[in-house]
Amino acid sequence: MALLEIKNLHVAVDDREILKGIDLTLDAGEVHAIMGPNGSGKSTLSYVLAGREGYAITAGTIRFQGKDLLAMAPDERARKGVFLAFQYPVEIPGVAGMTFLKTALNALRKERGAGELDAMQFLKFVRAQAKRLEIGDEMLKRALNVGFSGGEKKRNEVLQMAVLEPILAVLDETDSGLDIDALKIVADGVNALRSPERAMLLITHYQRLLDYIVPDRVHVLAHGRIAKSGGKELALELERKGYGEFLGEAA
Amino acid sequence: MAGDAPFVDQFSAAAPLPALRAGGLARYRAAGLPGPAIEAWKYTSLDALTKLGLLPAGGAPTTLEALPEAALLAVDGYRAVFVNGRFVPAFSALDGLPKGAVVESLAAHIARDPAAAEAALAGADDGTPLVALNTAFLTDGLVLTVDRGVVLDKPLHLVSIGRPPDGQGVAFHPRHLIRLAPDAVATVVESHAGVGGAGYFANTVADIRVEDGATLRHYVLQNQAAEAFHVAAVRLALAARASYEGFVLHIGARLARHELAATIAGDGVDCRMNGLYLVAGSQHVDNTTFIDHAQPGSRSRQLFKGVLDDSGRGVFQGRVLVRPHAQKTDAHQLSRALLLSRKAEMDGKPELEIYADDVRCSHGATIGSLDQEPMFYLMSRGIDPATAYRMLVEAFAVEALDEISVAAIRDAFATHAQAWLATRRAGGGA
Ligand SMILES: Nc1ncnc2c1ncn2[C@@H]1O[C@H](COP(=O)(O)OP(=O)(O)OP(=O)(O)O)[C@@H](O)[C@H]1O
Ligand SMILES: [Mg+2]
């Protein structure tokens, strides 16, 4: 059984069709990259996986671990192991980042039948993960994403992923806005999470990320469809040739 | 009509300071109970008050079995307790006040030196109807005097309890006098609550003078009983370099109004007035402020935030006046209301009247519901919608509480606010 199976997915926003028949299968242990021009529907796909409101599923199915993902509320999906690292993480003033993460982790642990962590255990665990991502205590203390730079927000998303240990991680342009050193740190963080039980979907514009996190498959999303799939060498080819060959095919 | 104004028939010429009180009665009688006909009361009606049949506090109890939880604050400090507006020494704790800081009940002050009391009381009555009504019936209250340079080492907790006698409504009109001499420092925390099921009307006036370089922190927890009408008028005079930090947390009462009128009468003044109001059921909460920048070079800051659920109604009227020669005034005002229910309502208007040209003044007002984006973000991490909702509402409220600079009091107020927030449910009032 595939970990994630997307079949003939059609999605519309305000009566405009954005995704026009996506078929995509991820097995446990795999990392797939999705590339494609701006506006082609990559973030839309990530939001639909996470369960954001406002997207009408006009046709198709998504099965996660054999279950109907679309029937689950966003929080239920997360507790079952779906995680989205947002392209644009939202700032939430007044919600302490650590309180938020502890609430989330304990909700997940409860679902998994593990006991809740107490404040000390939690702090120790998060600090260890944060250290690997070079996130200091000062950043941990702040309100959720408030006043974080673009790169800090992305690192914070990866920290959440490391703490919440998802089964399916979708990373939407987590590399955008990172400087070269931060990219390496984040990539190491992501690689550390690669495991035979876990699958990842990396949305990116840059082949450079894929030098660090080598994908099993690369897909090109254009005009709401997977226009081409291949091995990691496809990313190199795109880097050379651009998206020209996919842009002709108008909506 | 004016002759029919409620309470007039309860006036007693036999009580102390009859002349002062008769003056208040005359002004109140001429105006009547304020209502939507006058601009300052455009959004708040006291009509329901007249139907309560309120007795004067004279015969009402001045004892208690225990302080109600709604009035408690986990803060180490001095304590002065009032029941139905009368000072209750048995529940108070005023030992060990530093030299130069004096706390006395107004009734004792009047008995000791009626002429001095009358002179001290004359200033605050600006003729607004409820302050005049307060003058007509003033009997007791708190008198706090802090001498030059003296620091009140612990907060003074002023507890005001409404306790209507069995099934009968009661009205009381406390008058507090707070006098800080130059460079004095004090923290005063008020908590207002009630016991017993009947309605009552607490019509409080706090007459406050903060002299040159003195600092007053003044926090108010309005946690009145569900049937209570609460009107508190703060009349504040700030001399040069004085600092005032005010905060009001509204949780209780059927109808509540906190009204601050501050006169900035010197330069270098720092006047802050912030608040949080948590409104549900059919409660009505009104915050009305008037900051009069009468002298140049001073600063005022206001942040009022409200969370309105069910059919709750909120009002914020903030008026800032910058007089012609009050150059270099720096005044900022922000009102933000979060509506949790479609039936909740928020009214009000900022009013900046600026007659000087070299000033920095701004105001803002927002009214909105909870944003979907943060809600989705929290849920996308596994947090259930009810918890996510509470976290976001609390986050909104906490920003106001953060304005309280004394940590212990901020925490104590947060405890009361959280108890209210814990009763909110996602979609509960929609
Ligand atoms: N909520 C929305 N309302 C209207 N249009 C939307 C909405 N969400 C997405 N779209 C449109 O759908 C298309 C796909 O957007 P999407 O964000 O998925 O693209 P993307 O591939 O992630 O692009 P990028 O590389 O720039 O991040 C765009 O044309 C976008 O304008
Ligand atoms: Mg995108």
> For B282-347, what is the HEC assignment?
CCEEEEEEEEEECCCCCEEEEEEEEEECCCCEEEEEEEEEECCCCCCCEEEEEEEEEECCCCCEEE
The reply to whether B66 falls in a domain is yes
Contacts of A172 in chain B (CB under 8 A): none
Specify the CATH class of A4-242 in words.
alpha beta
The reply to whether B368 falls in a domain is no
Residue A240, both tokens: 């050379």
The reply to whether B84 falls in a domain is yes
The reply to whether B393 falls in a domain is no
Q: How far apart are CA B412 and CA A58, in angstroms?
A: 52
Q: How far apart are CA B245 and CA B227, in angstroms?
A: 29
The boundaries of the domain holding residue B62 are: 8-265
Mean per-residue pLDDT of chain B: 94
Touching check for B372 and chain A: CB below 8 Å? yes
The reply to whether B85 falls in a domain is yes
Q: Which of B305, B338, B373, B377 is the best residue to mutate to test the A interface, defined by the most A CB atoms within 10 Å of its own CB?
A: B377
Q: Which of A43, A95, A148, A153 is the best residue to mutate to test the B interface, defined by the most B CB atoms within 10 Å of its own CB?
A: A95
Q: Are B91 and B79 in contact (CB under 8 A)?
A: yes
Average pLDDT over every residue of B252-277: 98
Region label for A183, one of left (φ > 0), alpha (ψ between -120 and 50) or beta (otherwise)? alpha
**pLDDT score for B430:** 37
Grouping H, G, I as helix, E, B as strand and the rest as coil, residue B250 is strand
Domain tally, chain B? 1
Q: Are B269 and B296 in contact (CB under 8 A)?
A: no
**pLDDT score for B198:** 86
Between B403 and B57, the more confident residue is B403
* A and B: number of Cβ contacts within 8 A: 80
The answer for residues whose C-beta is within 8 angstroms of residue B320's C-beta and 6 or more apart is: B290, B291, B293, B300, B331, B333, B350, B351, B352, B353, B354, B361, B363
Say if the Cβ atoms of A84 and B380 lie within 8 Å: yes
Query: For chain A, which residues make up each domain, given as ranges?
Result: 4-242
Distance A38 CA to ligand 1 centre (A): 8
| The model scores a pTM over 0.95 | no
| Bridge partners, B330 (sequence order) | B299, B360
Q: Residue B81 belongs to what H/E stretch?
A: strand B78-83
Shortest CA gap A103–chain B (Å): 7
Ligand closest to A86 (CA) is 2
Q: How far apart are CA A233 and CA B222, in angstroms?
A: 68
Q: Are B226 and B194 in contact (CB under 8 A)?
A: no
The answer for residues whose C-beta is within 8 angstroms of residue B358's C-beta and 6 or more apart is: B327, B328
Average pLDDT over every residue of A148-164: 94
**pLDDT score for A248:** 67
Q: How far apart are CA B8 and CA B164, in angstroms?
A: 20
Say if the Cβ atoms of A50 and B392 lie within 8 Å: no
pLDDT tens digit string along B26-41?
999 999 999 888 889 9
Q: Are B231 and B203 in contact (CB under 8 A)?
A: yes
Helix axes B114-122 and B18-31, enclosed angle (nearest 10): 30
The letter for the amino acid at B160 is S
The reply to whether B324 falls in a domain is no
Say if the Cβ atoms of A75 and B376 lie within 8 Å: no
Helix axes A97-111 and A119-132, enclosed angle (nearest 10): 110
Which residue pairs, CB below 8 angstroms and at least 24 apart, start in B368-374? Answer: B368/B337, B368/B338, B368/B339, B369/B338, B369/B339, B369/B340, B370/B338, B370/B340, B372/A53, B373/A90, B374/A90, B374/A92, B374/A95
Between A116 and B125, the more confident residue is A116
Query: Out of A42-51, A241-250, B196-205, which region has the weakest mean confidence (pLDDT)?
Result: A241-250
The reply to whether B307 falls in a domain is no
- Protein residue with least CA distance to atom 2, ligand 1: A13
Region label for B348, one of left (φ > 0), alpha (ψ between -120 and 50) or beta (otherwise)? left
The answer for residues whose C-beta is within 8 angstroms of residue A103's C-beta and 6 or more apart is: B383, B387, B391
Using 50, 70 and 90 to split pLDDT, how confident is the model at A251? very low
Nearest atom in ligand 1 to A18's CA: 12
Closest alpha carbon within chain A to B387: A103
